[in-house]
Amino acid sequence: MKTFNLIILFNLIFNIFIINNVSIASTDTSYFLHVTDIHYDIHYDPGSPNNCIIGTKTGMGCCRKDELPLDPYYSCSKWGDFNCDNPTYLNERIFSWIANSTRTKEGIPPLDFIIYTGDSPGHHLPSQSVERNIECMYNISQIIDHYFPKIPLYQSLGNHDTYPIDQTMDITYDRILANASSVWSKWLSVEALRNARIGGYYSVKLNFLGNGIRLISFNSIYYDKDNLFGIKNDTAENKSGYQWLWLEGELEKIKENNDKFIFINHIPPGTHEANDYYNGRLINLLAKYQEYIIVQLYGHTHEDRFMLHKVNNNYTGYTLIPGSLMTAHHDPSFRIYAYDKNNKMIKDYRQYSCSLRDTIKSDKVLCNNTYNFTTEYKMNSLSLNSMIKLYNQIKTNSSDTAIKYIKHYYPGANHTACDTQCLKNYVDEIVVSV
């Protein structure tokens, strides 16, 4: 614990002298990176079987030395495998590629900040522990900090970051929160750090984007449907350190000052692990402050997708998910957002994926800008109206929009023909009504 206290002290000093003086080019557009669901395996073993008896049948994955092979199988590459969690080597090389790309004229524009919406540990649940999951979160943060030491990093907690998975029981989750807040402390204010320590949520000013811009990180794990210690009604809110009360207070301050905010979170409302209490309360609350929201960014699903929120049959907001950096039966992916500092809105995003097959073949990581939102879907902006329009086009499959959406949903995967029922499955998961 003394070590982590020293880390917090150092990071608070860093915060005072560095974070408040972050300087960026005086342009009208700011760029930031969003990554999520890295799921890396500390014990990934190149040469081990990529198809195995226990890992394949349970969904925990393979590529470990002690796994019993299941025919047909191949040797896991040092770069990773579609049936396994990520190796450290792949994670490091992808962030190295991103960092190097920001230094080239035709590459990724210089980044002003980074968002990581959680899930560092892998899926091999029997070998996990509080210490191991803390180690995973720390290692991923260190990799990002190594390649972007002067770029602010803002994170949220995922359901795999807990131990056991999805659970927030006091005896273990308090240790998770203590260590996570310590790891995050480099870029958090004193107040934000205090809230992160209490419940894994916080709010920070993004002064480098201009006056009146904030980022709010919410902790959705308390409302995970699989969480035996979770919160299903107002009477249990003390378990989260009264997160809803805190969030409403933050949103009221934003409204009073006519500010804007970016909202980051892990589990999207309306997905299968989100409980009904969470779905209704979060969507209704954010609907009250929709005019102050710049964008809502989530992770968890591992898919490149979006969702629309409806309250009383009216569209009130949308969420964006960039796909996972983990090779979850598809290529690793990440996203670069373009933010207009004059209009205080997201102008566009660039989607990137790293072909695992080509990377293995060439023995170097190969990432590409697979599409840009506005050009791919022929939209003028990235707004609620644009997302409603996109939804209607997918539903009717006008101008092959649905084909594009399904192709990007799992980058690099082998896509089969999508019939009427298949298309309905994609369409039905987009709109969440409360």
The tens digit of pLDDT for each residue in 121-162 reads 999 999 999 999 999 999 999 999 999 999 999 999 999 999
Other Cβ atoms closer than 10 A to 198:
17
Amino acid (1-letter code) at residue 112? D
Cα distances (Å, whole numbers) of residue 388 to 94, 317, 321:
33, 10, 16
Other Cβ atoms closer than 10 A to 347:
18
Q: Please tell me the total number of residues recorded for the chain in this structure.
A: 434
Percent share of the chain, pLDDT over 70: 94
**Predicted confidence band at 106 (pLDDT cuts at 50, 70, 90)?**
confident
Which H or E run includes 113?
strand 113-116
Spatial CA neighbour of 79 closest among 304, 412, 331: 331
How are beta strands 314-322 and 304-311 bridged, if at all?
antiparallel
The fold for domain 2-44+85-433 equals Purple Acid Phosphatase; chain A, domain 2 (3.60.21)
Mean pLDDT of 200-227: 97
CA angle (18, 183, 159) in 5-degree steps: 135
Q: Which pLDDT tens digit goes with each residue over 310-343? A: 999 999 999 999 999 999 899 999 999 999 999 9
Structure tokens at 10: 């150092």
Q: Which pLDDT tens digit goes with each residue over 257-297? A: 999 999 999 999 999 999 999 999 999 999 999 999 999 99
pLDDT at 26 over 70: no
Residue 154 and residue 144 in contact, taking contact as beta carbons nearer than 8 Å: no
Amino acid (1-letter code) at residue 283? I
Spatial CA neighbour of 230 closest among 177, 295, 162: 162
Tell how many helices (H) and how many strands (E) occur in the chain: 13, 13
- Tell me the Ramachandran region of residue 84: left when phi exceeds 0, alpha when psi lies from -120 to 50, beta otherwise: beta
Other Cβ atoms closer than 10 A to 255:
13
pLDDT at site 11: 57
Q: What is the DSSP letter of 368?
A: E
d(CA 161, CA 81): 22
Residue 242 and residue 195 in contact, taking contact as beta carbons nearer than 8 Å: no
Residue 34 and residue 263 in contact, taking contact as beta carbons nearer than 8 Å: no
Global confidence as pTM: 0.93
Spatial CA neighbour of 372 closest among 304, 418, 325: 304
